[in-house]
C-alpha cells in the first residue's frame, strides 16, 4: 500500500482535510470510515450528512464517539485502510463524558502502532487563533494541542491541509 501505516492530517475547520483524507484512502480501494461525531443539534446533523453524501459506495461506515481504539484494533486489515474522522470531535466526546484523555490517547497510540493496515486520522489544529476567553475552551485547545503532538510523534506521515492543498510536514518510510 502507498498509504503510510499511520497518517495524521491536520488543518483548520473547512480546510479540506477530510476530503483529502478520503481521497488518500479511496486510492487504496475500499476503506472503513470511523466517524466520531455526535449530532447534538441540526447544524451538526447537516455536517454529518454532508460527509456521508460525499462518500461513495466503496466505504463502510462505523460510528463510534468514544472507543475508537477498540474499533481500530478489531477492524484493522492489511488491505483495508481505516479513516478516523475526527480526533477533535473524539476529544470533545471524551471531555463531555469526563473520560481520562491521556489514558485514551495512549491506548489509541498503542493500537495504531500494532494495526495491521494503514490508519488515516483527521484532526483540527485549533491552537493558532486568539486565546479563548473561558476556561473550558482553553482546556479544550490545550488538550487538542497535546493530543495532536503525541499522535503526530507516533505517525509515519503528517500532512497539513490549507485551502484544500496538502503540505507534508513529516514522512518517514517504513
Enter the C-alpha cell of residue 118.
Answer: 494503514
Contact 56, 22 (CB under 8 A): no
The one catalytic residue in 1, 47, 51, 109 is 51
Q: Which SS3 state, helix, strand or coil, does residue 174 take?
A: coil
CA 6 – CA 137 distance, rounded (Å): 28
51 labelled catalytic: yes
Q: Which residues contact 91 (CB under 8 A, 6 or more apart)?
A: 101, 140, 143, 144, 147
Query: Distance between CA 7 and CA 162 in Å, rounded?
Result: 16
Q: Which residues are catalytic?
A: 51
Amino acid at each position: 500500500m502507498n498509504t503510510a501505516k499511520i497518517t495524521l492530517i491536520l488543518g483548520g475547520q473547512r480546510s479540506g482535510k477530510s476530503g483529502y483524507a478520503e481521497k488518500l484512502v479511496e486510492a487504496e480501494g475500499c476503506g472503513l470510515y470511523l466517524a466520531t461525531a455526535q449530532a447534538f443539534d441540526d447544524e451538526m446533523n447537516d455536517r454529518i450528512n454532508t460527509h456521508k453524501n460525499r462518500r461513495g459506495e466503496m466505504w463502510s461506515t462505523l460510528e463510534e464517539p468514544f472507543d475508537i481504539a477498540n474499533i481500530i484494533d478489531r477492524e484493522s486489515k492489511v488491505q483495508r485502510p481505516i479513516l478516523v474522522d475526527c480526533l477533535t470531535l473524539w476529544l470533545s466526546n471524551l471531555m463531555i463524558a469526563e473520560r481520562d484523555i491521556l489514558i485514551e490517547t495512549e491506548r489509541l497510540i498503542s493500537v495504531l502502532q500494532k494495526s495491521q493496515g494503514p490508519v488515516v486520522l483527521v484532526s483540527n489544529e485549533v491552537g493558532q487563533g486568539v486565546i479563548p476567553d473561558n476556561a473550558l475552551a482553553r482546556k479544550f485547545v490545550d488538550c487538542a494541542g497535546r493530543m495532536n503532538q503525541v499522535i503526530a510523534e507516533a505517525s509515519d506521515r503528517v500532512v497539513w491541509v490549507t485551502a484544500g492543498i496538502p503540505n507534508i510536514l513529516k514522512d518517514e518510510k517504513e
